[in-house]
Amino acid sequence: MQDLFSDKHSTKSASKDSRQFIPLAARMRPVSLQEYAGQSHLFEPGKPLYEAIHQGKLHSMLFWGPPGTGKTTLARMIASQCDFHFISISAVLGSVKDIRAAVEEAQLKKQMGHRTLLFVDEVHRFNKSQQDAFLPYVEDGTFLFIGATTENPSFEVNNALLSRARVYVLKSLDHKALKNILLRAIHDQDKGLAHLKLKLSEEAQELLINVADGDARRLLNFVEMASDIAELDEKGVRHVDVTQIASIIGENVRRFDKGGEAFYDQISALHKSVRGSNPDGALYWFCRMLDGGCDPLYIARRVVRMASEDIGNADPRALQLAINAWDVQQRLGSPEGELAIAQAVIYLSVAAKSNAVYKAFNACMSDVKSEQSYEVPLHLRNAPTQLMKELNYGSEYRYDHEQPEAFSVGQTYFPQAKEAVEYYTPVERGMEKQIAEKLNHLRKLK
């Protein structure tokens, strides 16, 4: 059994002649935890994954984390460490036929006395029936199952499969981990770029690490592109500066899945920053979403929601400003529209807050859905025909504008069979403070 926790048995990569045909990211794939960067929270003594690997007592697992954090690499290292035959399926291109072929291969290995680890990359892309196809073979031990996903398993993986696998969260690689990966790629004689005598300025290294955005694969791809355009000096050293890095990066788009976990996490952070009256935090998350490629019209629509949900009548101008920003984005596009949305985001953040309208709406909607459909009282009905007048439609209605203070004391507006409910309770902030005073006065008149 190989030792995953040392570099003692690291294998050599392809020869220098064939190295040029293998992407740097593939060549630099770690074969031991000594080379493995990041995820230290999983590999401390006493942690479940550390102990499972160290003792060779494995269980089915799901690795959940952003791209380029080492999910596939970790599965391969586990198979190597614990002497498992390794089979890999990609759910992007895979089908039930591929699952069946993997099962047959695993069954054959089992008959020969070998254990199999089946790794399914992007497992969330398999539909329910495809995910269910794994269950009986996980149960009978045909193979050890490890799935990798960039999406929240709670939403994207079937409960039946989720209940049979332990979820391990892999985090984006931090600056230190990415720096180590970068330096190892530059100086590694066997698998890296040492033969090119590549020299990156500190500014170029920092730019590469920042634009990698926690993704080791992305970092190594950029390093490899940089090596292709490096300037060769008289000593055979290839120099790369920050200008050259900027040229290959182009218009950087950070990690942002427009329908996945990062998307909903960031819109949640924006909404909560507005609710928390923090304009700087709200502006940051707004810009992060734009930088990641989010449609500004989607953000504008959500800002309108924030205006009603968290500000409401404490400052009715907030809703109008949010709608105006949405309109500017539709009419003018970028960058004018984005600036208008930023204005609305900041205004909403500093505006007086009230969720009284939101609470009133939800409470009333809950009652309407749970109660019977009460009839409209006769005095509230219109009487456009003679028959309706004869049936006393609207006969007892009092026109409020003809009453003192334009208020008909004692006139009811709920169904006769339903007790009146005070759904709307204004807060003592902003304009709602005045609304509360008005309502209290009118209620006293009753």
Distance (Å, whole) CA 426 – CA 333: 37
pLDDT value, residue 366: 92
Distance (Å, whole) CA 126 – CA 5: 33
Please state, rounded to an integer, the average pLDDT across all residues of the chain: 85
Strand boundaries in 61-132, DSSP class E: 61-64, 85-90, 116-121
What is the dotted CATH code of the domain comprising 175-249?
Answer: 1.10.8.60
Asked whether the predicted pLDDT for residue 442 surpasses 50, the reply is: yes
**CATH label, 371-445, candidates 1.10.3710, 1.10.357, 1.10.10, 3.30.1540:** 1.10.3710
* Residue pLDDT, tens place only, 18-57: 555 678 888 888 877 777 878 888 887 888 888 888 887 8
Provide the percentage of residues in the chain whose pLDDT is more than 90: 30
Listed residue (348, 339, 349) closest to 279, CA to CA: 349
* Residue pLDDT, tens place only, 279-290: 999 999 999 888
Contact 248, 222 (CB under 8 A): yes
Higher pLDDT, residue 119 or 80: 119
pLDDT value, residue 258: 52
Strands 231-232 and 238-240: antiparallel
Distance (Å, whole) CA 346 – CA 322: 11
Listed residue (223, 230, 260) closest to 244, CA to CA: 230
Euclidean distance between the first and final Cα of the chain, in Å?
85
Q: Domain segments of the chain: what residues?
A: 39-169, 175-249, 261-350, 371-445
Helices (H), 164-310: 175-187, 202-212, 216-229, 242-249, 261-275, 279-291, 296-306
Reported as a pLDDT band with limits 50, 70 and 90, residue 11 is: very low
Distance (Å, whole) CA 96 – CA 134: 10
**Percent helix, strand, coil in the chain (nearest 5)?**
55, 10, 40
* Residue pLDDT, tens place only, 111-169: 998 999 999 999 988 888 888 888 889 888 889 999 999 888 888 888 888 888 899 99
Q: What is the dihedral of CA 293, 296, 297, 301, to 10 degrees?
A: 110
Mean pLDDT confidence for 325-334: 92
Reported as a pLDDT band with limits 50, 70 and 90, residue 9 is: very low
What is the dotted CATH code of the domain comprising 39-169?
Answer: 3.40.50.300
Mean pLDDT confidence for 246-264: 61
| pTM to 2 decimal places | 0.59
- On whether the 261-350 domain is CATH 1.20.272.10, my answer is yes
Contact 61, 162 (CB under 8 A): no
